[in-house]
Amino acid sequence: MKWMGVSVCMMHRLIIKVLVGGVAIVPLLVGQFGPQTLAQVTPDTTLPIPSNVPENCNVCTINGGTVRGTNLFHSFREFSVPTGGQAIFNNGLQIETILGRVTGDSISNIDGLIQANGTANLFLLNPNGIILGPSAQLEIGGSFLATTADAIEFDDQRIFSATNPGDFPLLTVSMPVGLAYWTDTPQPITSAATVAVDPSQSLILAGGDIALTEGQLSAVGGRVELGGLAGLGTLGLAIDNEEIRLTFPSQVDRGNVSMNNDARVDVTADNGGDIVVSGHDVSLIGVRTGLLAGIDFFSGTSDSQAGDIVIDATGRVTLDQGKLFNEILQGATGNGGNITIMGQELHLINGGQLVATSFSAGNTGKITLDIQNLILVSGVGRDSNGVPLPSGFNSVVRQGGVGESGGVDITVRNGSLIINDGASNSATVVGDGIAGDINIQVSDAVIVDGVNELGFPSAIGSTLQVGARGRGGNLTIIAETVAIRNGANISVATAGFGDAGTLTIDAQDIVLDGSDTFIKDFPGDNERVGGILADVQRSTLFPNAPPAEGQGGDITLISDTLTIMDGAIVRASTAGIGDAGRITVQTNDLMIQGESAGGAPSGIFSAVNDTGRGEGGSIRVTTDSLQILDGGTISVDSRGEGEGGDIQVTANTAILKDGSEISAATNGNTGGNINLQIEDFLLLRNGSLISTNAGIEDGIGDGGNISINAPEGFIIAISEENSDITANAFQGRGGNVDITAQNIFGIRPRPRRTPLSDITASSEFGISGTIEINNLSVEPEQGVTSLPAGLLDSSQLIAQGCDPTAIAAQGEFYTSGRGGITPLGSNVLSDAEVLDDLRFPYPWTESTAITEAESWFVNDTGDVILTTSPPELSHSNCWRQK
């Protein structure tokens, strides 16, 4: 079924939204101009050949009018058709277009039948406003256009005016080309009608504002267009065979378009069918309110092409429970059409959905969102049976469908994409086919946040579902910031028969912030999956379903900063038959920190699960700064039949603290390898671990190898903090540890792990591996040359007396204080002390000749002073003869 029932609670909410939304005036208008005893079809006398209508008629046959070529012109002072009434245009079959205007002051209230002969189009022009009531009907062979414009323009520049009928007396044989608005406040068109035009024809409502309060507008395989202007201007009008199109001027404000109370527009057919909504603000409110296009049940051919749904807004587009469906229905054949939305903002809330889907043979259309400032996708609605309906955009090949999903393209030019409160967005294959790509390009932030009260995570994903055959689509996000928070996820996966797609994020900053929430992916599936995921899945909902067969998707993250915290994860895994994907991280700063409240670590993981039969994927990290803190993890492991992957880290600095780890583990196969390329230093603190252990759960298998290459750097640990580097095995051979560094501090090789900081390559019951450490620092005693004992004659360096001829005019050397030098040369300088030279500068002066003392005296401080002449009284502490 396309449409679900609406609950009493949801209807109550809908009524509130209608009243608040400013369209509650519509029922009042219907009541004021509601059912009439007699039709109000009254001609005026402004035409060369006036219209001819019987007085006081209920079934009114309209004769006369002025014919120009294939155009028939009618002019009325008032034109309304009551409930049960009829207005029948008795036109000749050669007429292609009937143009009727209302020159009086009354609204046209249509709640009965309007009929015309042959295949003529009917244009109704009333600047006062038009209401289509719930009993309105159309029986015309051509297209129907209702407008509150002031005049119709023709391609020979003549005008058929309703507000100034006497100023433009000449009529024309040419085609209409425009709708002219001569007022700042064009009047609205409201409709509660269920009306239809013939197949392949057009149904156009051109206001002012457009309000569909209930009912349905239908044009099987044709075109329905809604829109209007909110000021002076001209709507372009193009008539191409059976199709009528509007063109909106860019410099004129548009009217608003609203749909609620289960109002619908349907152009579903065996071929074609377009819906175009153009306005300032466009809103669809209500669980059954929506726009429907596509290939109808058991119809179409391989050449059939469904039409498109387009919303072109200059303001906000809101789908509050409302839906846009472009579908290939059961038994149909052909390709689905596209869904395109343009505007300043797009809000999909409370179960609002955009769906391009195929239940049969054919490709689905593409969903394209081109928004200026904000896309908000939020919440989960319900149908009348209580089935949850997450808000979102979805391109899907359904069960029984065969074809390609068209995918989703999203652009936010000057703002953000926010997905929260359980909203779900996907390109998915449930039948046989290829899931489309999801491409997101946002100038500011992509925020995927939270889990709703029912346990549904906010999500973006491309998936090959259980039993499906084909290939998953790729998911690409380009933004300034990408934040995935509180249990939300972004994923590519396969649970069927085929490969998962790739997942790429390119952003200035990437933040993954987890939670302790357990997420309910499907009824019966409970798993913590907050983060970025690429999985080959196995269903727990259908335990007898065959395992997935295919390659896991690759994950590529490119950013300036990447933060993974509080239990959030980046994961590539396989629980089926196929290899896990690769994870590649390129970032300036990578921080992995903490655990969820349930104790699950934050981290980057590649895994072969218990039921997996495939190789683990590799993890490649390139960064300037790597920090793994508070139990954070980078891990590759295999608990299934395949080998674990490898870890390659290239970093300037790497810090592991407080129980954090880099590990490569396997149950029964060779453990994965770890290769660290370090420029400056690797620091291990407080029980941190680098490990390539094999034999998880007492299994067999050789430990993987660990290579740490820091030829210009250092490896630092605190001996008493039990931080280890291990390549151990249980029954197999221990791995090899190869370390190259300038120096290693606080950690040393040992045969077995101890409470100290260790380097081990042991095996519980097998052969131990090897540990090779290349210490490149220079030992102080190396390269020292012994000097000969008699290198200098010290007797020639010490003066034996004051011979003035030998030492006259020699230089003088003064020193005062330590100048930052420790009292003992063996003392170590502390970098916490500031070394300042506190000595006073002394100018260089030439020394006078030295002579022997001839006298002495005691100064004020008790010092004995030698002098060459008797002293003079002086207060100087240091005196000498000059």
Distance CA 636, CA 642 (A): 12
- Are the C-beta atoms of 393 and 425 separated by less than 8 Å? yes
**pLDDT, tens only, 515-570:** 644 443 333 334 445 899 887 765 444 445 566 677 888 999 999 999 999 999 99
Q: Where are the beta strands (DSSP E) in 719-863?
A: 724-726, 737-745, 748-749, 758-760, 771-775, 855-858
Q: Provide the pairing of β-strand 233-240 with 176-181.
A: antiparallel
Together in a domain, 852 and 754: no
Same domain, 773 and 851: no
Quickly list H helices, 648-748: none
Domain co-membership, 771 together with 854: no
Q: Are residues 69 and 171 part of one domain?
A: yes
Residue 532, phi then psi, degrees to nearest 5: -115, 125
Any domain includes 868: yes
Helix or strand (DSSP H, E) at 629: strand 619-629
Q: Which residue has the tokens 């149908």?
A: 383
The single-letter code of the amino acid at 120 is A
Three-state DSSP at 722 gives coil
Burial category of 333 from C-beta neighbours within 10 Å (exposed 0-12, middle 13-18, buried 19 and up): middle
**781 to 492, 714, 744, 778: CA distances (angstroms):** 59, 21, 19, 9
The C-alpha atoms of residue 390 and residue 367 are separated, in whole angstroms, by 17
- Give pLDDT < 50 ranges for the chain: 1-37, 516-528, 539-543, 778-785, 787, 790-792, 805-809, 813-814, 823-836, 838, 874-882
3-state SS of 786-803?
A: CCCCCCCCHHHCCCCCCC
Is residue 230 domain-shared with residue 96, that is, in the same domain? yes
DSSP assignment, residue 298? T
Beta carbons within 10 angstroms of residue 478's beta carbon:
17
pLDDT of residue 849: 61
Does a structural domain hold residue 425? no
Q: Which residues contact 569 (CB under 8 A, 6 or more apart)?
A: 512, 514, 529, 530, 531, 532, 533, 602, 603, 604, 605
Indicate the SS3 state at residue 769.
coil
**HSE, side-chain direction, 13 A CA sphere, residue 71:** 15
- The DSSP 8-state label assigned to residue 141 in this structure reads S
**Does a structural domain hold residue 529?**
no
Ramachandran sector of residue 28 (left: φ over 0; alpha: ψ -120 to 50; beta: rest): alpha
In a domain, 79, yes or no: yes
CA 245 – CA 241 distance, rounded (Å): 11
Residues 71 and 191 in one domain: yes
Q: Specify burial of residue 601 (Cβ count, 10 A radius: 0-12, 13-18, 19+).
A: buried
Q: How many Å apart are CA 210 and CA 217, to the nearest integer? A: 13
CB 698 within 8 A of CB 733: no
DSSP letter assigned to residue 721: G
Please check whether residue 265 lies inside any domain of the structure.
no
Residue 98 sits in the same domain as residue 236 = yes
Enclosing domain of residue 722: 646-652+664-777
Name the pTM for this structure: 0.82
Angle in degrees, CA 546, 549, 552, rounded to 5: 130
Regarding whether 863 and 721 lie in a shared domain, the answer is no
pLDDT digits (tens, 9 = 90+) for 484-495: 999 999 999 887
* Sole residue written with tokens 């009937």: 98
Residue where one domain finishes, among candidates 727, 747, 777: 777
DSSP helix/strand/coil, 628 = strand
pLDDT at 513: 93
Identify the domain boundary among 777, 809, 834: 777
pLDDT score recorded for residue 252: 95
Is 287:6 a contact under the CB 8 Å cutoff? yes
- Alpha-carbon distance values, 153 to 72, 95, 128, 158, 391 (Å): 15, 19, 18, 6, 43
| 791 backbone φψ class: left, alpha, beta (φ>0; ψ -120 to 50) | alpha
Tell me the three state secondary structure of residue 90: coil
Q: What is the CA 630 to chain-centroid distance, rounded? A: 28
CATH classification of the domain holding 128: 2.160.20.10
Domain closes at, from 259, 291, 310: 259
Q: Which two tokens stand for residue 438?
A: 């999801």
Q: d(Cα 76, Cα 145) in Å, to the nearest integer?
A: 17
Q: Are 610 and 642 in contact (CB under 8 A)?
A: no
Q: Is residue 70 part of a domain?
A: yes
Comparing CA positions, the residue from 845, 844, 852 lying closest to residue 868 is 852
For 439-461, give the secondary structure using H, E and C.
EEEECCEEEEECECCCCCECEEE
Beta-sheet strands, E only, within 126-249: 130-132, 137-139, 144-147, 151-154, 159-161, 176-181, 189-191, 194-197, 202-207, 210-212, 216-219, 223-228, 233-240, 243-247
For the chain, the domain total comes to 3
**Which pLDDT belongs to residue 793?**
53
DSSP state of 824: S
Nearest-angstrom CA–CA distance, 110 and 106: 12
CB distance 737 to 759 below 8 Å: yes
Tell me: do 732 and 870 sit in the same domain: no
Q: How many helices, marked H, and strands, marked E, lie in the chain? A: 3, 71
At residue 640's C-alpha, the angle toward residues 635 and 644, to 5°, is: 35
C-alpha distances out from residue 258 to 283, 319, 511, Å = 5, 10, 38
pLDDT for the residue numbered 514: 87
Domain annotation covers residue 420 = no
Task: Based on the fold, state whether residues 869 and 750 are members of the same structural domain.
Answer: no
How far is Cα 557 from Cα 584, in angstroms, rounded to an integer?
A: 6
Q: Do 743 and 855 belong to one domain?
A: no
> What is the residue-wise DSSP string for 558-613?
EEEEEEEETT-EEEEEESSBSPPPPEEEEEEEEEEE-B-TTSPBPEEEEEE-TT-B
Instruction: Identify residue 523 by its one-letter amino acid code.
Output: P
Dmax over CA atoms of the chain, in Å, equals 153
Contact 681, 653 (CB under 8 A): yes
Whether residues 101 and 220 share a domain: the answer is yes
